[in-house]
Structure 1
Amino acid sequence: MKIAVGTTGDNLEAWVRSEFGWCPRFVIVDTASMSYFIVSQPVLESHEEASLAAIRTLAQHDVSVVIVAKAQERCRMVMNELGVDVIEGIEGLTVRQAVERFLSEVLYTPEGRKARVKLAVTSDGDDLDAGVGTSLGMCTRFLLVDPDTMEYSVVQVTPKDSPEKISVDAIRAVIQAGATTVITPRVQPQCCRILFQMGAEVAVCEPDISVRQAIQLFKTGRLESANGLINI
């Protein structure tokens, strides 16, 4: 299988970036050997021309899956008609990580979300008795918890000057840590969409409880899923 990943870089450690059509290059990975080659795209004036050029290029290379940060509905439909799956909304992963997560069915596929559970809980402290903080957008640390053993580690997020920047870094941090579910008192719809595409669920808890209490509520099925925000 060949997977094309949109990026501004030229190797497997480059970040997944760019909208389909405006993507300057694709890293095309042969999943059997993880060997790859680079396909650069011409700079065109209109998005439609650029998108058609990208579609022709990927079709010529017999690509089965395209992974990008963003894709317009029309582009996705054309690619699907050609037998190519399009996975979008991917940010905070390198090309290698995106391909590996796709192959392990953690990225995008519902089956991958049933894998071993790791909970990333927003926190205002460094242990299970700390409060759950205020929101994903303002969080500067998570506790990554195994709900079966209650073993945990602290995932730090470098403070930024805006909630939007914190949210991007927070999403990147929890996904790279292997979280399958994020628990937080508050989350923006865009964050939900990105996390869902990356194979992570989002559960919403009350703001005045501890991390330990939030996990117990999750284990007993008493936390509200934020999946309804995905289509907002």
Structure 2
Amino acid sequence: MAPQVDRINLVLNEYNEVPDELAGVPNLNPIIPADNTRDTGKFMPDVEDADLVFLIDDDQIYPPDYVDYARRSVEKIDLNRFVAGFHGTIYKRRRLKTLFKPILRRRQVFFFKKALERTTRVSQLGTGHLIARPSMLPPFDYMKDAKRFVDIRFARWCHEKKIPMLCLARPEGYLNDIEFDETIYRDFTIKQHEHVVSEIMTFAHKGKDVGRAAPLLSQ
């Protein structure tokens, strides 16, 4: 990612010093936090002076044209009103056949590896593929206690601030990830912890026009 951006902020959780192999990255801004920030660390760097911010995770594979592709994808989107990304979720209301299903079993997920034909409004975005203006991002103090459910906390922020979220169109297989035995979804999310479910319920069915195509600047 470093060659694609002006500055790359790298949060080095559980490091005491910057690894030697990173010395050759001229636009790197390494950050060693006092505590392990886990997945919330991406909200720690000061990005106030940036034009556009791309949030990324270390278990994702980003193509060499990712930033250019993402910028083209948001050309006709007003990023002073919206945030966008490539992984989205819609939480569905209870129906007769899903009456007894918990909220995490009533989701429609636009998985980042899969094709999405049209940019769509969603209830929640994956923060590992997020594109936003700095002014649309929450402060780290708001995010820091949301370890392992950072996407949910960010969605809550967006709903509180009335910021619509857009999942961007893309072809099949454009994005990929690194396979690990342990994942946040398998080890944490799927267990449906009460405090996480409670947070989801603060916004799950409140988004306006969720599931509809995104409005473009030319419209």
Compare CA radii of gyration and give the structure with the larger one. Answer: 1
Same-fold call, TM > 0.5? no
Q: Which has the higher contact order (CA 8 A, sep 6+)?
A: 2
Task: Report the TM-score when normalising by structure 2.
Answer: 0.31
Task: Report the TM-score when normalising by structure 1.
Answer: 0.30
